[in-house]
Structure 1
Amino acid sequence: MESIGAEGRDTMRGLLGAVNESLGAPMAPAWEAALREVPRHTFLPEKVWVGEDLVECSRDAAPGDWLRHAYADAAVVTQVNDGQAAAEAGERWASCSASAPSIVFRMLDMLDVRPGHRVLEIGTGTGWNAGLLAHRLGAGLVTTIEVDPALAARAAGCLERVGLDPEVVQGDGARGHVARGPYDRVVATCSVRAVPPAWIAQTVPGGVVLVPWESPWFCWGLLRLTVDGFGGASGLFSPHSAFMLMRGQRVDLRIYRDVVSDDHVPDESMTRLSPWAVAGDDWGAQFALGLQLPDVWRAWQHEPEVEGVASRLWLATTEADSWAAVDWDGAASDRFTVWEYGPRRLWGMVEAAYDWWRGAGCPGPERFGLSVAPDGTHVAWLDTPDQPVPVLPRSAPPRTCGPDNEVHHGTGTL
């Protein structure tokens, strides 16, 4: 196995301390051994991208920086644009990453693997997570699926070079891999907006399915399901992680390309609910709204080229049939202009969802859970399965507004 030298050993010790601090307790000895004996850097490509701007870092050009990124407790992007070259930094978008080690080991701890367990991993990526599992469980018990042929081939090579033997399958992870099942544990390293039924069907009763969660409104949270003996599963969310969405569940929508048209004439109204209350720093509020509005997404536009508007929050449906915009003029803190178009009054639905969350005591993600029925129906709940979260209908009546929220129909100009 490739040596990382004195600098690498120092950075690895620093990483161990950072992971333990993040977890709030020392990791289990078996996982610490895996961290030391399955070095993260051996799974990273020669070129990675770091930071929000996806700055390229090459091992050849900056070996010290590259190694520090390999052993920092931070995600490292390992592929951009699904492997297609992007000439300019602004054209890059992350399509694969090595997750922050602290979330990797948090998820491995939550997975609660035991000797003899068979594990299915969805999303091989670099192969490091599969390598850690294979180190812990031994030969023949880990299967990992990767949709990208190039990533699957590279991960298989990395695993072989470090002497580990999980089964690497190139294919659609949403289908699972029935040939190696049933599994005691299924873990995804990509987020989902709906749990594929194959993952539950291929898990033994009492087994665990652990997946990062995402709604179009907000990407955040882990869902740990326990499979029952009747084709369903149920479990709680936890307030950790943000992962890239499974490729098969991606929806590529843009406000001006796909949603808003020049001939749309929106209704204008006013609201006292700040757009930052529902799409700002309160992650609990955003998580709750995402559960109630499972087909509504949002995007910020700061400093739009509109007179008298300093910031704008856009909302739209994933069907692209309705949209709304909430404008801040840069001065007022209790009145915001609302524009709405389409059969659904989206801002009114956001207000209703936010009011429900406030009325429930502003619960965090850890109080929410999800049940998946044998027919695939997903039902989110608060505290217990007999308290379902209200999912707002896909059609809604016009907003009912008082003097402070007067609606002007069909007069707006964005």
Structure 2
Amino acid sequence: MVNNGAEQIAMRGLLGTLNEALSGAIAPEWERAFWAAPRHAFLPEKVWVGDDLAVCTRSADPSAWLHTAYADGPVVTQINDGADPSNGERWPSSSASAPSIVIRMLTMLSVANGHRVLEIGTGTGWNAGLLSHRLGAGLVTTVEVDPALAAQAAASLKAVGLEPQVVTGDGAAGYAAGAPYDRVIATCSVRQVPRAWVEQTKPGGVILTPWESPWFCYGLLRLTVDGQGLASGWFSPHSAFMLMRNQRTDLRIYRDVVRDEHLPTESITRLSPWAVTGDDWAAQFAIGLQLRNVWRTWHNDPDVDGVASRLWLATTDAASWAAVDWDGRTDDRFTVWEHGPRRLWAAVEVAYQWWRSMGRPGPDRFGMTITPEGEHVAWLDRPEQRVPDLS
């Protein structure tokens, strides 16, 4: 497990960082698990760091690799779904989550002795290792869609003497053979909570999953299952996880959305595009709950006269789009172009104004109910106060 002084020093340093980040000491059972399943034992030889995804290997630079393992940040452990980037484009497809969010989620899960847990998204196996030490490996099942990642995680778990059931398969289907579960935890974000998770959770059981809308990836959703097919609970801030693979949308503005023959309408807005895409995460979260099938992307310095930056919006079915242009000079007047059956920027303005009228609530004032029919109903403060559905 912990083999040398450098590893011990790094682990103690991270524990101190976590105690500060979480505003209190880690619970003793999780600290014991932390030592029994050290994070570095689950990271591969090669990882990618920084915004430019620079390669860091243990053999070439063991000091930098160990520093990466015990920093309180995510570590990219796979790019391009494991394929070689033939055209030079690289994007993260699997990562080890930041230790602080791992411990936060495990605390929120509120496991107790004897609980059976289903984990969706094995990744490196570290989270499954922590759960296995806390509960016993026989009570933990973890599902990973990528066969190579599943095999690597299983080997890492065996190496530290913890062997939960590692299943290769689609996490959206859960794992019916081991159901029912007291707890279901996902380490990937979802835009829709799969029905199988609700069906495989015991009455009174808990589902904890990162949340994402196409507009904004942020927040955790903690649901309690009632045994009648309904699940309901609150959001909390924290976290930005990679989206479950079978819920991805692969859309690009110029490849899939905008066409030369489109004739958009023109208008003017006073709402700054940065007000709904910038540092105000509460605003973005609320807009995403109202517009669950609208995504956006920035295009800086487009090759368009008089345009310094352009915000693109589009529906996930690519049927409607909008562009909001900033001329680089004025900060209270922006040109809007819209095409398709929906006026997307107008919808964003409505969503933003509703959020402001409700007192600018943060994610922890929102909740969601999933009905037996699979409808996802977002609400503010109480289930009776539904969030407008503008999708």
With structure 1 as the length reference, what TM-score do the two structures score? 0.93
2:60 alignment counterpart: 61
Secondary structure, aligned partner of 1:34: helix
Distance 2:63 2:90 in 1: 24
The Cα of 1:139 is off from its aligned counterpart by: 3.4
Distance 1:150 1:369 in 2: 36
Q: Find the partner of 1:362 among 349, 360, 363.
A: 360
Distance 2:112 2:212 in 1: 28
Distance 1:87 1:265 in 2: 36
1:373 alignment counterpart: 371
| Residues 358-381 of structure 1 deviation map (CA, whole Å, 9 limit, x = unaligned) | 100000000000000011110000
Letter aligned with residue 321 of structure 1: A
Greater displacement, 185-194 / 295-304 = 295-304
| Residues 154-188 of structure 1 deviation map (CA, whole Å, 9 limit, x = unaligned) | 11111111110210000011011111110000000
| Residues 230-284 of structure 1 deviation map (CA, whole Å, 9 limit, x = unaligned) | 1110000000100000001000000000000111111111000000001111100
The Cα of 1:87 is off from its aligned counterpart by: 5.6
Q: Find the partner of 1:283 among 281, 284, 289.
A: 281
2:77 alignment counterpart: 78
Distance 2:70 2:287 in 1: 35
Query: Percent identity between the aligned chains?
Result: 70
1:125 alignment counterpart: 123
Structure 1: stretches of 5+ with no match in the other structure: 395-414
Letter aligned with residue 197 of structure 2: W
1:315 alignment counterpart: 313
Letter aligned with residue 257 of structure 1: R
Distance 2:223 2:22 in 1: 21
What is the root-mean-square deviation of aligned Cα atoms in Å?
0.9
Structure 2: stretches of 5+ with no match in the other structure: none
Secondary structure, aligned partner of 1:116: coil
Distance 2:99 2:73 in 1: 7
Letter aligned with residue 262 of structure 2: H
Q: Which runs of 4+ in 1 moved over 6 A?
A: none
Letter aligned with residue 111 of structure 1: L
| Residues 284-326 of structure 1 deviation map (CA, whole Å, 9 limit, x = unaligned) | 0000000000000000111111111111100000010000000
Letter aligned with residue 82 of structure 1: D
Distance 1:301 1:27 in 2: 43
Distance 1:86 1:322 in 2: 31
Secondary structure, aligned partner of 2:266: strand
- TM alignment of 1:4-403, pairs within 5 A: 5-86=4-85, 91-392=89-390, 394=391
Distance 1:221 1:164 in 2: 30
Count of matched residue pairs: 391
CA contact (8 A) 2:2 2:38 kept: no
1:405 alignment counterpart: none
Letter aligned with residue 374 of structure 1: P
Letter aligned with residue 316 of structure 1: A
Letter aligned with residue 65 of structure 2: W
Letter aligned with residue 284 of structure 2: Q
Secondary structure, aligned partner of 2:137: coil
Secondary structure, aligned partner of 2:158: helix
Distance 2:35 2:71 in 1: 14
The Cα of 1:229 is off from its aligned counterpart by: 2.2
